[in-house]
Amino acid sequence: MKYMFIMRATDEAVQASKDIPFEQIINQMGAYNESMINAGVMIGGEGLADVSEGSGLVVDFAEDPPLVTDGPYGETHELFNGFWIVQVGSREEAAEWASRAPLGPGSKLEVRRVNEASDFADFADNEYIRKEELWRQEEESLKAENK
């Protein structure tokens, strides 16, 4: 099973992190990522750029066409600022890895299971039946051609 660790930090935590030498943060994160890569569980992850740079946008679907603005980001002053994707054997194992992340007060990791094929069984069913029908039609037309 796969889990996404969603990193959320309060504005205060983001401010506080600016007092720590950036190289130190990079080294700690690097060591953490390396430990998960070497254990064969980390399969993806990215850090998101600071929004104060005006680097991002928000697309709001409240209107048609959707409204594109520079912020506001998030509703609770908890900014989503990075993620990891890990492949592990259990929820407990995901929790164990998540709790080893080098984060301080004001930061939170949300651990969310990534949907798998089995979560869409009904959907797969319909799709499959549709495909099967299509395939049968093709078969029939081929047989007709070969007669």
Q: Residue numbers of the site for another protein (CB under 8 A)? A: 37-41, 43-44, 85, 87-90, 92-93, 95-97, 116-117, 121, 124-125, 127-129, 131, 135, 146
Nearer to another protein among residue 43 and residue 49 (C-beta)? 43
CA distance 124 to 84: 27
User: Please, which residues have CB within 8 angstroms of residue 113's CB and are 6 or more apart in sequence?
Assistant: 1, 2, 3, 91
Distance separating alpha carbons of residues 59 and 51, to the nearest angstrom: 14
Token pair 């509703």: residue: 75
CB nearer to another protein: give 37 or 57.
37
CA gap 83, 63 in Å, rounded: 29
Contact 5, 111 (CB under 8 A): yes
Of 23 and 92, nearer to another protein (C-beta) is 92
CB of 49 to another protein, least distance (A): 21
| Residue 77 or 100 having the CB closest to another protein | 100
Shortest distance (Å) from residue 78 CB to another protein: 26
Cis bond upstream, residue 65 (ω within 30): yes
Shortest Cβ distance from residue 22 to another protein (Å)?
26
Q: How far is the CB of 93 from another protein (least distance, A)?
A: 4
Nearest CB to another protein, comparing residues 69 and 115: 115
Supply the minimum distance, in Å, between the C-beta of residue 89 and another protein: 6
Residue 72 preceded by cis peptide, ω within 30: yes
